[in-house]
Structure 1
Amino acid sequence: MPTATSRVEDAVNRRRGDLVELSHAIHAEPELAFAEHRSCAKTQSLVAEHGFEITTAPGGLDTAFRADFGSGPLVVGVCAEYDALPGIGHACGHNIIAASAVGTALALAEVADELGLTVVLLGTPAEEAGGGKVLLLNAGTFDDIAATVMLHPGPLDIAAARSLALSQVAVEYLGKEAHAAVAPFNGVNAADAITVAQVAIGLLRQQMAPGHMAHGIVTDGGQATNVIPARAEMHYTMRANDAASLRDLERRMTDCFLAGAVASGCDYQVSETEPAYHELTPDRWLAETFRAEMVRVGRSPVSAELEAALPLGSTDMGNVTQVMPGIHPIVGIDAGGASVHQPAFARAAAGPSADAAVVEGAIMLARTVVALAQEPAERDRVLELQARRAS
């Protein structure tokens, strides 16, 4: 009789055409955070046809869903992302994430009863902006889940991918209008406040700790050159190796924002634009099991030493891995040297290597979950951690 690992691999291969078609369909109609209505519907359609119980809009998020199959005590989540980027579409390859997650869930459903599994496919919107997984965590959507897996495309194969903690803010300055030529001395220039703040941030960079990053844009700098602007706004993203270090960077950046207000005479307000993202902390056993799967299918994951030195951007999956065992490996695609968030990567995300990543990624994730279910010590470990969370 075929083993559970071989059966999930066969299940993915049988559905190769459907999975690739799903990836291409999502890629062809990119949708932004919290507006992924077509992508959300496409992602859940295949599992709905195969007996998954669909819960729409968990946590009150219209473009989220939860699809359950089985009744086993080991509840494993598989995250699907499907939001795109403004202007450059699926340059982060979330179409690949969604299709591989569907393939993983469908394959695991075929062995759920014999392995004592409940398979949960989670449609998680707004990873690029908005923190969909954080909102779902806070709403209790993950409460009964013992471990969560997903993958992400990139230029390299990385089994134990790590990420940076992140927070994003809007900084608004309020001054006073005046005619820029007739009576500029009657104005309080909000755009000047932004200039001072950005100069302060630029000078701060020399003293930033390793791993600290700050990058921002001006979203409002005035409406006419001959009017002293009474309002100006900028958005800034701050990143650090972990949440504790991020708090230190936020404190120093807040002083730079204040400097702009003091120097210009403006009032100001700093507001968080979305939930903070924590650092990605992959579960060691799951990551090493996935690494072995990468090697088995002929991939060459980077070394553990390089992984530790290569944190990759930021993701709300980091928040999930702070709560439960989870992994977010990177599966490499050929983008001609381009990396994520570049137009060339968007084009590659519907190419032959992306299609291979969908299929191989689903196989590797499914086989990793099967290994977890069949290894008594690891199964007991994640179940015990979930029981502690629930108590």
Structure 2
Amino acid sequence: MSTEFKISTRSSVERYSTVLTDLSRSIHAEPEIAFQEHRSAEKVATLLAGEGFEVERGVADLDTAFTATYGSGELVLGLCAEYDALPEIGHACGHNVIAASSAGAALALRDLADELGITVKVIGTPAEEVGGGKVLMLERGVFDDVAFSMMVHPAPYEAIAARSLAITDVEVHYTGRSSHAAAAPHLGVNAADAITVAQVAIGLVRQHLEPGQMVSGIVLNGGTVPNIVPARTSAMFDLRAENLESLQRLENRIGDCFHAGALATGCTHEVVKVSPIYAELTPDQWLADAYRQAAVALGRRPLSPERELREKIGSTDMGNVTRVLPAIHPTIAIDCGDAVNHQIEFATACASASADQAVLEGALAMAWTTITAATDPDQRARLLAAAADRAAPLGGTA
């Protein structure tokens, strides 16, 4: 990597350091859940528009999605910015850090775009926690021109080629028949019992699940009052597995448990997918290696590649991006004590001096990774060739 480019990007990140950390903390202070991130998306988009990026809001027919583009080089970088929060516990996954670090990387690369022959494209991706914003944006063409993509995610540890689990979110709805619970219980068909049977079946089947398969769930509606036999109930479950193929087998098995609840009680039931299916992460190894070099140069201490294989970071719709184009989703460590993602203590840590440092160093690591890719002739050619292959019509070139 050119020392001149490295110095330039570091200088840019330092110049914008207060702006970026203020952005992170502002998003953190006003958490918004999936597809409702109007303030958060606007904060990022407004900053980039004011710095010369061409901003398009409401892309892919999603009100809280946007793109911010600078440059005209043939090598297009897609920096994903997440900003949705969790219900009740706010930014306990640190998406405020993600958004600010991607904005920082974009600002660091802006003045080098022409010299590097790149186009910098920040992609504001809503609804990662539930809803699959990236999946929808992939399907609707937002990533079509992107040659490679990246983002950094705060976590208790630093993993470069981070691995995740494939996931599908489903709701099961049972319909029975109401009746007086004391005067005529024999005339009722108890939909709450159907959920109980399904949960017991799932609990028993857990012993026999494949390695990496996981099921977690909550009851959304268990009835209204105890003197009415519940006629309608519902529950939501997350089904996870090592890969999409294993996930399909798990979905079939849990579907049988849902059916058992209906069969045992005489209810009817319906299973509804809540979000698009999230694929497992398949990070691009060369980009991961380049990011690792950048992170180490910044004094960070990532896990060894061997240890990374044993760690899982939950699930993310960035997995779908990595299956379509070269991309990485490293985690960046923050000081969070014993807390982990999706705990209220982790939310507190995501508005701390350590999180501020992660914003700046994450931005710089992504900028340096981009510079390495853009200036390596073989890797640049590889990335461009892969993008051209994706753009070619089926059956060959036009």
1:340-368 CA-partner distances (Å, limit 9, x unpaired): 10111111101010000000000000000
Structure 1 match to 2:85 = 84
Structure 2 match to 1:175 = 176
Structure 2 match to 1:333 = 334
Structure 1 match to 2:219 = 218
Equivalent pair of 1:196/1:263 in contact (CA under 8 Å): yes
Structure 2 letter corresponding to 1:68: T
Alignment of 1:120-199 (within 5 A): 120-199=121-200
Structure 1 match to 2:374 = 373
Q: Normalising by the residue count of structure 2, what TM-score does the alignment of the two structures yield? A: 0.97
Q: Which moved more, 1:165-174 or 1:42-51?
A: 42-51
Structure 1 match to 2:256 = 255
SS in structure 2 of the partner of residue 62 of structure 1 = coil
Structure 1 letter corresponding to 2:357: A
Structure 1 match to 2:322 = 321
Q: Does 1:387 align with 2:388?
A: yes
Alignment of 1:1-391 (within 5 A): 3-391=4-392
Q: CA deviation at 1:6?
A: 2.0
Q: Normalising by the residue count of structure 1, what TM-score does the alignment of the two structures yield? A: 0.99
1:288-326 CA-partner distances (Å, limit 9, x unpaired): 111111111111111111111112100000000000000
Question: Distance in 1 between the 2:106 and 2:377 partners?
Answer: 22
1:213-254 CA-partner distances (Å, limit 9, x unpaired): 000000011001000000010001100000011000001000
Question: Distance in 2 between the 1:119 and 1:337 partners?
Answer: 37
Question: Distance in 2 between the 1:245 and 1:157 partners?
Answer: 27
SS in structure 1 of the partner of residue 76 of structure 2 = strand
Question: Distance in 2 between the 1:2 and 1:325 partners?
Answer: 25
Moved over 2 A (4+): none
Root-mean-square deviation over aligned CA pairs: 0.8
Question: Distance in 2 between the 1:88 and 1:267 partners?
Answer: 35
Question: Distance in 2 between the 1:115 and 1:257 partners?
Answer: 55
Question: Distance in 2 between the 1:329 and 1:64 partners?
Answer: 22
Question: Distance in 1 between the 2:252 and 2:269 partners?
Answer: 16
1:16-65 CA-partner distances (Å, limit 9, x unpaired): 01001101110110111100000001011221111111111111100010
Structure 2 letter corresponding to 1:262: L
Q: CA deviation at 1:2?
A: 5.8
Mind listing any 5+ residue stretches in structure 1 that lack a counterpart? none
Question: Distance in 1 between the 2:226 and 2:65 partners?
Answer: 44
Q: CA deviation at 1:179?
A: 0.4
Question: Distance in 2 between the 1:125 and 1:279 partners?
Answer: 19
SS in structure 2 of the partner of residue 170 of structure 1 = strand
Equivalent pair of 1:9/1:366 in contact (CA under 8 Å): no
Mind listing any 5+ residue stretches in structure 2 that lack a counterpart? 393-398
Question: Distance in 2 between the 1:300 and 1:8 partners?
Answer: 21
Question: Distance in 1 between the 2:369 and 2:24 partners?
Answer: 22
Structure 1 letter corresponding to 2:136: L
Structure 1 letter corresponding to 2:358: A
Equivalent pair of 1:217/1:235 in contact (CA under 8 Å): yes
Q: CA deviation at 1:5?
A: 2.3
Question: Distance in 2 between the 1:293 and 1:117 partners?
Answer: 19
Question: Distance in 1 between the 2:382 and 2:3 partners?
Answer: 27
Q: Share of identical aligned residues, percent?
A: 54
Structure 1 match to 2:395 = none
Question: Distance in 2 between the 1:139 and 1:62 partners?
Answer: 14
1:175-217 CA-partner distances (Å, limit 9, x unpaired): 0001000010000000000000000000000000100000000
Question: Distance in 1 between the 2:115 and 2:299 partners?
Answer: 29
1:96-120 CA-partner distances (Å, limit 9, x unpaired): 0000000001111110000100000
Structure 2 letter corresponding to 1:279: E
